[in-house]
Chains A and B, each alone.
Chain A
Amino acid sequence: MSVITQKICLLGDFNVGKTSLIRRFVEDKFSDQYLSTVGVKVSRKSLKVKAKLSVHLLNLLIWDLEGNTKFKSITPSYLKGASGAIIVADLSRTNTLSSISQHINLFLQINPQGTIAIALNKADLVPQEKLDKLIELHSSYNRQQILQAYPTSAKTGDNVPNMFATLSQSLV
């Protein structure tokens, strides 16, 4: 079993739940408290990933980047060398949804070969019918690097492992 280490980044506007998603994925915990990430926080999670021929131990280094705001954009050099990214948006705030494409562009500009998953987070806050509509609206990105848009909830854990697993799979 070979060991592979890959870097992925989580990016998105501030307060969309990047840190919470990572926390849910890495520690399987959630807190309502909002703690703004300053700079970068690196976390790690090891996964077993099945490849075509063998099983790999994937050492996933997850870079939790400081959220994008009007005044401060994401430092591009943090994205360097990342194999994958999860673009996170908040379903309850439409402006965060609309900036998804901007993040995608930024990431692909630096890592043209990178794989992207989109997390439409805080799905638990949005009613189901509205949720479907929103997902439909924001799932149609016409890029081959984009895997899928996941309605996630760091609070309930919905789709979180699933999303990370799918992304990991694509990295091997």
Chain B
Amino acid sequence: MNDSSNNSSKNASNNSPSNLQPIDGLVDFLLDSDYSANSNTSADMVEDRHELAEEVSEIADTQPNPDELTAELENTEKDRFDCSEIETDVEEPKAKITLEAAVEYEAFLRQTIEPKIEEYPIFKQSDNGSIEQYDVALNIDTESASSTELVDCVNTLIPLIVELLKYKIDNSQESIFEAVAPTVERLIERRASEEPEKMAAAISSILPAAITEKINLNPKTIAKAIAPEIALAIEEQILLDEKVMAQVLGPEMGKAIKTQIELEKDAMVDALYPVIGDTISKYMVEVVKEINSKVENTLSPEGLKRKFQARLQGVSEAELILQEAIGCYIQAVFLIDKNSGIVIEKVQKTGEQELDSDMVAGMLTAIRSFANDCIVSDSELDSIDYGNWQIHLEVAGYCYLAVVVKGEPNQDFLQKVRSTFGEIVLNHGEAIEQFDGDYETVPIVIKAKLEQLIEPENVLRSKSTEKSGSPLILLCLLALILSIFFVPWAIVSYRSKIARNIEQFTAVQLDAAPELSVYRLDPKVEKGKLIVTGRVPSNYLRDRATVITQEIAQHNNLQLDNRIIAVDVPTDPSLILGEVKRLTKLFNQHSEVSIESNYQSGTLSISGFILDKFQQENVADAFDQVPGIDQIILNVAEQLPIIQESIYFEIGSKNLNFTNNSSKIKSVSAFLNRYPQLHLKLVVYSDGQGSKIINQKLAQERCSKVKSALVAQGVAPTRVISEGKEYRIAANPNLRSSRYVGFEPFIPTQ
């Protein structure tokens, strides 16, 4: 379209302005979407139409020969049929077009303008304007014509229309727009359906610019228009060439994700969560399983044993796991020529599946060469591991030793291998160097050496695996376990034995103390303490027990925990009574003591005579010691009562005058009854007259008389004693009253 407008503008310079401007105007008109025309009244339109008709007729009049025009038209008919060539076609027949239009108008005028009056109402009634009417007329005219002719007609009409538009544009833009619009659509539609490629070509050139312009003017509408198809478009493109899409989008994906994370982190998290969640959970399950198995393994007896062993041997647990898994066994030892890979000497375990020494040696040599050449130069391959097996390599100048071991060889063995190999190289280096594949040149000693290496070691190893391997370790472990259990047990039992001994000793010691033997005291040794529990009736006994146990505790470096309680035990009354009696009796043995005790419910009352004051205190103290006696009432006299009565006698008489003395005898008898603990001593006083013998005799006789009299009164004869032959000279001997018998009470000795 753009091209056509350009072309038409080119034409403008060549042709008359009447031809140029209409096309430009049409194009402008078509492109100008914002164009809005003022609506005109139908009356105006009619007026306009008249003017138009007049003008057209004028134009028609200026055209010379209609026949010429037709001929021209026929010549260019084919070219003009092609719409896409409008641009070129338009140039040449500019004048013809107007002429052609005039021809058409001849017919038109004939039909429409001549019967002016009749046709007029038709125009007037038409809403769409005169052009439509004109179309109708045309259509009627061309109904019978072929499609090419029709198109031709349409094509030929374009300049005319443009011209019309040009004239009418100022006055009735709306009507022109309305008139042109359907035609243009139809035109484009038809062209598009007939020759899409050319239409496409024509439109394509302005499309980018048009879209850009549209986007600038109203981006939203473009967005709206394209939006629903973008997904499809992408899909289509992916179908066509998925790599391109990936390449285009790829570099931006990272940035896009990053930006989105920056903008809305949570949304990204939500979006990825299901995937990441699954992935993580899957991973976690695996990790947990692994950890679980490890933990299970760790906590199993094997695991613990391994841990212990690892600590003992100072190696990693993993190494031990490996060793556990494989054990160690020497399959073969090969002495191999370093260059050729030919086996110089070999020793294999018999009875086993023998290794093909030549092949092994060859391949080993190849691997060695490869490793030395391609991986690391100036260093040696020292072992090849495959599964449980290991080939240990010791390399010397011209040969190397390969030891095929199942499991992990220990350091001792490797040391032995090295020393043996060293010996071989040292002693037989020359023979090895000269070795050319002939086994006869190989010293037999080498084989012996290698056999030494394999045989004793194997035996040793098997022994060691039997003895030092599991059983020794097992025994050690057992011993350890036993010691773990038994050592504390032994300590505990030893300690408890000592404790029992101490307890027993304490019990014996407590029992040995007579005052404590009756009481049950339990000594117990616990946590460095000697605990003594029990009850004793007094603090005294408690202290006694404390003294004894304290000594034992100190001796055994124990702390004493004295839990003996001194309780106030109600003592057996009979025991108290016995004690009281015993003490009473004991004290009564003293010549100056004559007491009676009476114990009743905790109270002891003591009555009688204690002539010595010191003795009195003793008595009180002694009874105070007796348990169960709460109170002592001491009611004792310090002096013996005196009997005032005396029985007098006549001079030289031994007879007792009963009449005078019966009351005195009775009162003495009553005195003795009152003090049953006292005895009486009869004391004879004399006036000192006469001989001693007579007085002695008299004294004797007088005493017996008084005694008899007292006995006659019911006094026990034992309570009355006389001094016998002894007598005392009275203070006043001359008096009658100087001859008498006096009474002296005394405390009898028991």
Contact = CB atoms under 8 A, between A and B. Distances in A.
Q: Do A and B bind each other?
A: yes
Interface of A: 2-7, 39-40, 42, 44, 59, 61, 63, 75-78, 80-83, 171
B339 A4 contact: no
Interface stretch (B309-317, B361-369, B698-706): B361-369
Among A44, A61, A78, A83, max chain B CB count under 10 A is at A61
Contact of A61 (B341, B369, B436): B341
Interface in B316-348: 337-343
Given A44-B358, A63-B362, A77-B373, A4 B439 contact: yes
A3 B439 contact: yes
B376 to A, nearest CB: 13
Given A40-B366, A42-B366, A78-B369, A6 B359 contact: no
Main secondary structure of the interface of B (DSSP, over half): helix
A26 to B, nearest CB: 12
A78 B370 CA distance: 8
A75 B374 CA distance: 9
B336 to A, nearest CB: 10
Given A7-B342, A63-B362, A77 B369 contact: yes
B439 A7 contact: no
Contacts of A80: 338-340, 369
A130 to B, nearest CB: 37
Contacts of A63: 341, 362, 366
A121 to B, nearest CB: 23
A2 B373 contact: no
A2 B441 CA distance: 10
Given A39-B366, A81-B337, A81-B338, A5 B343 contact: yes
Nearest to A56: B438
A41 to B, nearest CB: 8
Given A61-B358, A82-B340, A5 B373 contact: no
A61 B440 contact: no
Given A4-B439, A61-B342, 17 more contacts: A3-B438, A4-B436, A4-B438, A5-B342, A5-B358, A5-B437, A6-B340, A6-B437, A40-B363, A42-B359, A61-B358, A61-B362, A77-B370, A80-B338, A81-B338, A81-B341, A83-B436
Given A42-B363, A59-B358, A81 B440 contact: no
The 3 closest A-B pairs by CB, nearest first: A81-B340, A81-B339, A42-B362
Contacts of B358: 5, 42, 44, 59, 61
Interface in B342-387: 342-343, 356, 358-359, 362-363, 365-366, 369-370, 372-374
Contact of B439 (A2, A39, A42, A171): A2
B440 A2 contact: yes
16 contacts: A2-B438, A2-B439, A4-B437, A4-B439, A5-B358, A7-B362, A42-B362, A59-B437, A61-B342, A61-B358, A75-B369, A80-B339, A81-B338, A81-B340, A81-B365, A83-B437
A58 B346 CA distance: 17
Contacts of A3: 438-439
Contacts of B437: 4-7, 59, 83, 171
Contacts of B343: 5
A112 B547 CA distance: 111
Contacts of B338: 80-81
Contacts of A5: 342-343, 358, 437, 439
Contacts of B340: 6-7, 61, 80-83
A72 B128 CA distance: 90
Nearest to B358: A44
A35 to B, nearest CB: 18
A75 B370 contact: yes
Nearest to B374: A75
B440 to A, nearest CB: 5
Given A2-B438, A4-B439, A75-B374, A81 B363 contact: no
Contacts of A4: 436-439
Nearest to A44: B358
A77 B372 CA distance: 9
A61 B341 CA distance: 9
A106 B358 CA distance: 25
Nearest to A9: B340
A7 B366 CA distance: 12
A47 B363 CA distance: 21
B357 to A, nearest CB: 10
Contacts of B363: 40, 42
Nearest to A2: B440
Given A3-B439, A5-B439, A81-B340, A39 B362 contact: no
A151 B270 CA distance: 75
A83 B366 CA distance: 16
Nearest to A80: B339
Contacts of B341: 7, 42, 61, 63, 81
A4 B343 CA distance: 10
A77 B339 CA distance: 8
B159 to A, nearest CB: 76
Nearest to A77: B369
Nearest to A65: B366
A170 to B, nearest CB: 13
Nearest to B342: A5
A157 to B, nearest CB: 24
Given A3-B439, A61-B362, A63-B362, A39 B370 contact: yes
Interface in B605-624: none
Contacts of A59: 358, 437
A39 B368 CA distance: 12
A83 B341 CA distance: 12
A77 B374 CA distance: 10
Contacts of A171: 437
Contacts of B374: 75
A76 B370 CA distance: 10
Interface string B400-425: 00000000000000000000000000
Contacts of B438: 2-4
Among A5, A6, A171, max chain B CB count under 10 A is at A5
